[in-house]
Amino acid sequence: MSTFQNLGLNDDLLQAINDLGFSTPSEVQEKAIPVLLHADTDLVALAQTGTGKTAAFGFPMLQKINVDSRTTQGLILSPTRELCLQITNEMKLYGKYCKGLNVVAIYGGASITEQARDVKRGAQIIVATPGRMKDMISRNLVDISKIEYSVLDEADEMLNMGFKEDITDILSHTPKDKNTWLFSATMPSEVASIAKHFMHQPQEITVGNKNESTNQVSHEYYLVNSRDRYLTLKRLADANPDIFSVVFCRTKRDTQKVAEKLIEDGYNAGALHGDLSQNQRDLVMKAFRNNQIQMLVATDVAARGIDVEDITHVINYQLPDEIETYTHRSGRTGRAGKTGVSMVIVSKSEVRKIKSIERIIKKQFERKTIPNGMEICEVQLMSLANKVHNTEVNHDIDNYLGKINTLFSDTTKDELIKKFFSVEFTRFYNYYQKTPDLNTIESSGSDDKDRGDSTRYFINVGKKDGFDWMSLKDFLREILELGKEDVFKVETKDSFSFFNTENAVKDKVLNFFTDFKYNGRFVNVEVSENRGNSKRRDRKRNGSNRNFKQNDSKNRTERRSTSGKSKPRRSKSNDFAASRPRRSRR
């Protein structure tokens, strides 16, 4: 087994390693450190976060630079502010016995003047995010013309975030004969092309499985009439009560307009685009980071470099002009090992672009049906029921229990439940009960076979139990012993889901789930109030497509309360609008 000593590290570093309590080198360190220490070479290392890669490039860089000089000799580029600060911190710890060492972090959202001052004091190593670095180069605040070692850390993430041009520009200010060390979790073609362009016969090391993908994003699209984009956006948000999303628009004007409409309609939304001042942008990003904003409506340029984890959905309100930009958008979700969904609202004239995107991302899109009003009401109701169920009791309420009990002394448990949920549910119900189907005729979910009368079920397992629509479908087919096509319209939500079967097997399904346990808990299946066949039903009710449009324009005038908590107010159309309570995800 190798030790840090026999990798060739000097005493200053070994002492720091000892202080840090690192007993043995990790795999990436074992493979990279001797190569980087003993040869002047370029390197491509395929390694995930958490494998000790910072030390793998950090130790050799610290050992090779001249700390007696004030010249900047090492440049580390990283995709996000968090990572930039983390690397800086680690480098300082590793180099704590390297007398005279100065490592400076350069990243957006903090004072550029202070960062420039820190660099001027003589930073041998700069750790930077590409956007701010480029900015400082263009203002002559840094000199990287004598760089000897450059690191591209999490290169796949940087390219995903749209930093390719910035990286190219930054590297053009560095000497040609420097060594470049590229670290990436995956090796998509864009990373391979960077390696080819900027590196000279790089050595390659791999830790773990080379083809292991960190990409956890599923892609879906919704086919609508262009004029229904906004209504569709609202439905997608309402059908996902815990959404935490970036909504991409093509222009600054659309971005501002959509954000304003969402705010008027009571959603926790904010706009991010180039017409806002830096201060305004910082405030929006702060609110988004703190989860006070659930829907950040943004242009591609402004959203570049958004380094917020936990984004559950990316919504393409409009497709980007450049198809390649789609990768950068969808890369905002599904990060840090989490799953994410990238949704595209697409009109008939644009639908062919989906095929082109599929070719570029090498993944299939799923065609999805826009949920109808009653489906959304059910989702909202069950989401609320789950929240209530999981809420920790506040025992200060005990003091008022007597009064409350007196008030409800004549109310049965069922009535009380109905009243309690009606407070919230009625607003959604009133808003959605008469809304039309927004799907264009061609639209149908991939799982949406038109097959006569079927039964739609509610089931109390969902994403939290590890299911997505495909795995739940397979699971149901298997336990119910049904055929490949017998379970359809499967929709998974966080803690519950919906699915359909033919009416003929309804009794079999319901009987099976009378005492079925999964992971130690009873699985409950009930017939859902809506059948998930909105298209057919709405068409019949409205008579013709033209009627849909008349209804639509009526609904488009509907406004939701901005106060968040207030009662539904009347819109000009005389319909009640559902007000959406403002929520913080925390």
Q: Enumerate binding residues for ligand AMP (CB under 6 A).
A: 22, 25-26, 29, 49-55, 90
- Residue closer to ligand AMP, measured from CB, 208 or 274: 208
47/223 with CB nearer ligand AMP: 47
Residue 492 β-bridge partners = 497
Element (H, E) at 218: strand 217-223
Residues 315 and 341: their CA atoms lie apart, in Å, by 8
Residue 487 token pair: 């379970």
Least distance from ligand AMP to the Cβ atom of residue 19, Å: 11
Least distance between ligand AMP and beta carbon 272 (Å): 29
- CA angle, residues 422, 454, 479, in degrees to nearest 5: 95
Look at the chain and count its residues.
Answer: 586
Q: Burial level of 204, CB count in 10 A (0-12/13-18/19+)?
A: middle
Contacts 24+ apart (CB under 8 A), 346-353: 346/221, 346/222, 346/223, 346/224, 346/316, 346/319, 347/223, 347/224, 347/225, 347/226, 347/229, 348/223, 348/225, 348/440, 348/442, 350/319, 351/221, 351/223, 353/319, 353/323
Nearer to ligand AMP, 2 or 503 (CB): 2
Is 22 or 518 the residue whose CB approaches ligand AMP more closely?
22
Within 13 A of 489's CA, how many CA atoms are on the CB side? 28
**Do residues 370 and 439 make contact, with C-beta atoms less than 8 angstroms apart?**
yes
CA–CA separation, 76 vs 148, rounded Å? Answer: 11
- Least distance to ligand AMP, CB of residue 157, Å: 13
Minimum CB distance to ligand AMP smaller for 32 or for 237:
32
H/E segment holding residue 237? helix 229-238
Nearest distance, CB of residue 383 and ligand AMP, angstroms: 36
Q: Min. distance of Cβ 58 from ligand AMP in angstroms?
A: 8
Which ranges of 443-492 does DSSP label H, i.e. alpha helix? 469-480
Neighbours of 237 (CB within 10 A): 23
Question: 223 — phi, psi (to 5°)?
Answer: -95, 120
Name which of 25 and 305 has its Cβ closer to ligand AMP: 25
Dist. CA 252–CA 308, nearest whole Å = 21
Measured from the CB atom, is 49 or 216 closer to ligand AMP?
49
Q: Which is nearer to ligand AMP, 4 or 475 (CB)?
A: 4
Beta carbon nearer to ligand AMP, 54 or 579: 54
Instruction: Please answer whether residues 16 and 59 qualify as being in contact, where contact means their C-beta atoms are separated by less than 8 angstroms.
Output: no
Least CB distance to ligand AMP at residue 47 (A): 7
**Amino acid identity, position 66:** N
Task: For residue 457, give Cα distances in angstroms to 380, 506, 532.
Answer: 16, 9, 9
Name which of 233, 571, 235 is nearest 428 in CA terms.
235
- In the bound complex, what is the minimum distance in angstroms from residue 67's beta carbon to ligand AMP? 21
Nearer to ligand AMP, 9 or 293 (CB): 9
Instruction: Using alpha carbons, list the distances in angstroms from residue 285 to 106, 109, 245, 293, 316.
Output: 18, 9, 13, 9, 19
Minimum separation from the CB atom of position 554 to ligand AMP (A):
55
CB of 90 to ligand AMP, least distance (A): 6
Residue 55 or 217 having the CB closest to ligand AMP: 55
| 225, 347 contact by CB (below 8 A) | yes
Residues sharing a CB contact under 8 Å with residue 48, sequence separation 6 or more, in sequence order: 185, 207, 208, 212, 214
Nearer to ligand AMP, 214 or 256 (CB): 214
CB atoms within 10 A of CB 565: 10
Residue 29 CB, nearest approach to ligand AMP (Å): 6
What is the phi/psi pair of residue 268, to 5°?
A: -85, 85
Pick 25 or 445: Cβ nearer ligand AMP: 25
Residue 57 CB, nearest distance to ligand AMP (Å)? 9
Rg (CA), the chain: 28
Minimum CB distance to ligand AMP, residue 49 (Å): 5
Min separation Cβ 165 and ligand AMP, Å: 27
Q: Name which of 312, 378, 316, 345 is nearest 232 in CA terms.
A: 345
